[in-house]
Structure 1
Amino acid sequence: MDFSQHTLLQVIPKLEGGGAERTTLEVGRAFVEAGGRSLVVSSGGGMVDELEAGGSAHVEMPVESKNPFLIAQNARDLAALIAKEKVSLIHARSRAPAWSCLQAARRTGIPFVTTYHGAYSAKSALKKLYNSVMVRSDAIIANSQFTAEAVAAQYEGKPYFDRAKMVTIPRGADLSRFDPEAVSEERIETFKTLFGPGFRIVLPGRFTDWKGQREVVEAAAILKKQRPDIRATFLMVGRMDEKPDYVEELRELVDQRGVTGSVQLIGPTKDVPALLLASDVVLSASTRPEAFGRVAVEAQAAGRPVIATAHGGSLETVRDGETGILVPPGDSEALAKALIRLHDLNPEERAEMGRRGMMHAHQNFTTEAMTASTLSVYQKLIGGLGDGTNGKGS
């Protein structure tokens, strides 16, 4: 694909760590490598330097705001940017900026793409209408089949929804980052020291009440009671600044359950590959369905068995009994049993599960496959191969 005559504009609320943000960087880099120009509009964040290092230019704009007046102003500013930079296509990755993008696309006549990085729930008609901007585009990308089906169930039959415009493109992972051969033993040892001795278990993910941290603490207590012979150490790693009250509640729960010596809560790390490779088992314990479940894919890429909750994208990314174990969401007893099962495997059996996971990840969830599929969507729209509604939305 040759995009040498084209400029891509992606819009995302902010550039802090996360799956949507990582995908934005990866698609921008791929577009540049295909000869195009890549612009990203956001309100800023810690990933801007990395974005620019990948060849994309960043434009700061308050697109994370849900204020209707700011959304309208952002639409005008985006339209002006599109005209100035001769943008060929605009791609929104969240609802508030998507409303601005839709208006800007209508004003300028360029194709409009949206990506569902999660399946949004809506209890009221007003919220459902607000969410519907994501299906009013010329191409709708869902990051898993679970997401695609959830979106279709919400909007099937609506005049502004055309399922033919939807394509499923699984979230990719930069698997080269998680190749055990690419991570030094020194980096791994840093995290092994944090774990301490014993059976090392990690739960990566920001601290919020649906990511399963409570259930992991309860599972640690069950494991300690049922199998005192297992010296298990748990690290829960992620951003703590968003919900400090919840973090404090977790610390109190750790103390109440008597697992202070085996469960640690620590802040985020940039060296996720070394963290995963220092562990024996990686957890994805979300009590709400993950739209995709990047942690499970990255863990498998690192050759580590995964225990994930059996709903959402995990049903597509983890092969139960082959690359990991699926457990019912919110079930700490089942989680403890799965940990015991993996602990009791001999080292070669656990390593073989890891090897199967690596193969599964490399066959199905590469960044290269994700970016190639995304650029193919762009090519069809830019090339005028769509259905004639480019730049108008619904």
Structure 2
Amino acid sequence: MRILQALPALYSGGVERGTVEFAADLVKRGHESWVVSKGGPMAEQLRGQGSRHVYMPIHRKSPASFGQILPMRKLILDLKPDIVHVRSRMPAWIIFLALKTIPRNQHPAVVSTFHGMYSVTPYSAIMTRADHMIAVSRCVQEYVLKNYQVPPDRLTVIQRGVDIDAFRQRELPPQWLERWFRQYPQLAGKRIIMMPGRISRWKGQLDFLAMMARLVQARPDCHGVIAGGAEPGKEHFLEELERARDRLGLTERVSFLGQRNDMTNLYLLADVVCHMSTKPEPFGRTVTEALASGTPVVAYNRGGAAETLEACFPRGLVPPDDIDAFTGVVARLLDAPKPTIEIPYRFRLEAQTEASLNVYENLLNQRSGKSR
């Protein structure tokens, strides 16, 4: 099949990483993989793994983006994809408006993925116009069925998969370790408690600092690290976090690492990974990646992150917003032998690819049946 994925850009984040990994798996299986976006640092990785990238500024939530309707129309007519897979709302609007000008018999099958619990508006409803929809977790599935009038048989739950071997089947490179401790000498001999994720208020970094303030009173051997960068316009929140760290007496106990490109190493290095989003997260990719590395995760019991922990590591679930309970679970895990964590097949990249291909093939079979 010739598959065209559409998303705003290829900078960082779970949707972007998932798109690139999925594209690479499509190529390995002999399919032709294309991605259209504004581009970004991950576009080079995408091309290096055998996919083709088309630059198109389809990222802005503004009327200016509708200037991309005609270029998108040309791309679809020239490329003739079997499947167009839309992963965001503005690209979906551009694609559906482009398809209005193309004869029906030249339309590709369109699949949309609800990567989040979008606001219930006509703008978001464009995602329901696809021939078939995918939800990244059961909580997203329930949200879509509750808020949109869509037949349940047009919506499939496909968990975001990770390449397990990329996270687990290796040792930490000695050169990387040497550089790491040269850059962060204060972490030598410490138990590392890590919170991955971009700097954003709802991601829960303030809760993480409150938890670390409690933890280090009983466990001075611990050091917290926050791995993630501040998006443009969110720098003020990073400054607020730094002030909160100092106010809690954690200046020498918590380090901000910024945006990283070595997360596979950091997951292996950490003793415990924390997920403390203050509202239900659709999936929580960092939870799956950390567990795939064999590192225990502690998370609030809500949203897609809880679904992953229920299946892989239920010991890590904590009542939402209970920082004292969270601290206690982290402390108990530090004192316990490192657990053996099994990742069910549905959370693996190959399962995601196979389930998505099954959706694609069913759509194309339905079309060929109708054409006869």
TM-superposed deviation, 1:314: 1.8
- Which of 252, 274, 289 lines up with 2:280 in the alignment? 289
- Cα-to-partner distance string for 1:110-149 (whole Å, 9 max, x where unaligned): 2111011111134xxxxx1111111111010111111111
Q: Does 1:169 align with 2:158?
A: yes
TM-superposed deviation, 1:8: 1.4
Number of equivalences = 363
TM-score normalised over the length of structure 1: 0.86
- Which of 324, 349, 361 lines up with 1:367 in the alignment? 349
Aligned pairs for 1:338-349 (under 5 A) are 338-345=329-336, 349=337
Q: Name the counterpart of 1:232.
A: 222
TM-superposed deviation, 1:30: 2.9
Aligned pairs for 1:57-206 (under 5 A) are 57-71=52-66, 73-106=67-100, 107=102, 108-122=106-120, 128-155=121-148, 158=149, 161-188=150-177, 190-191=179-180, 194=184, 195-206=187-198
- Cα-to-partner distance string for 1:227-275 (whole Å, 9 max, x where unaligned): 1x54210000101243110000000000101111111111121111110
TM-superposed deviation, 1:185: 4.3
| In 2: Cα distance, 1:387 partner to 1:296 partner | 41
Q: Tell me, yes or no, if the aligned pair for 1:301 and 1:362 is still in contact at 8 Å.
A: no
- Highest relative contact order (Cα 8 Å, sep 6+), 1 or 2? 1
| In 1: Cα distance, 2:37 partner to 2:312 partner | 41
| In 2: Cα distance, 1:237 partner to 1:32 partner | 31
| In 1: Cα distance, 2:369 partner to 2:127 partner | 18
Secondary structure in 1 aligned to 2:303?
Answer: coil
Letter in 1 for 2:230: M
Q: Name the counterpart of 2:268.
A: 277
- Which of 352, 372, 376 lines up with 2:358 in the alignment? 376
Q: Tell me, yes or no, if the aligned pair for 1:191 and 1:278 is still in contact at 8 Å.
A: no
TM-superposed deviation, 1:375: 1.3
Q: Name the counterpart of 1:125.
A: none
- Identity rate, percent: 34
Letter in 1 for 2:10: L
- Which of 291, 311, 318 lines up with 2:309 in the alignment? 318
Letter in 1 for 2:68: N
Q: Tell me, yes or no, if the aligned pair for 1:175 and 1:366 is still in contact at 8 Å.
A: yes
| In 2: Cα distance, 1:80 partner to 1:36 partner | 22
| In 2: Cα distance, 1:248 partner to 1:120 partner | 28
Aligned-residue RMSD, C-alpha: 2.2
Letter in 2 for 1:81: L
TM-score normalised over the length of structure 2: 0.91
| In 2: Cα distance, 1:382 partner to 1:320 partner | 33
TM-superposed deviation, 1:320: 8.4
- Which of 23, 27, 45 lines up with 2:18 in the alignment? 23
Letter in 2 for 1:368: E
Letter in 1 for 2:63: P
Q: Tell me, yes or no, if the aligned pair for 2:291 and 2:312 is still in contact at 8 Å.
A: no
| In 1: Cα distance, 2:93 partner to 2:222 partner | 48
| In 1: Cα distance, 2:174 partner to 2:301 partner | 33
Q: Name the counterpart of 2:212.
A: 220
Letter in 1 for 2:40: G
TM-superposed deviation, 1:187: 3.0
Unaligned runs of 5+ in 2: none
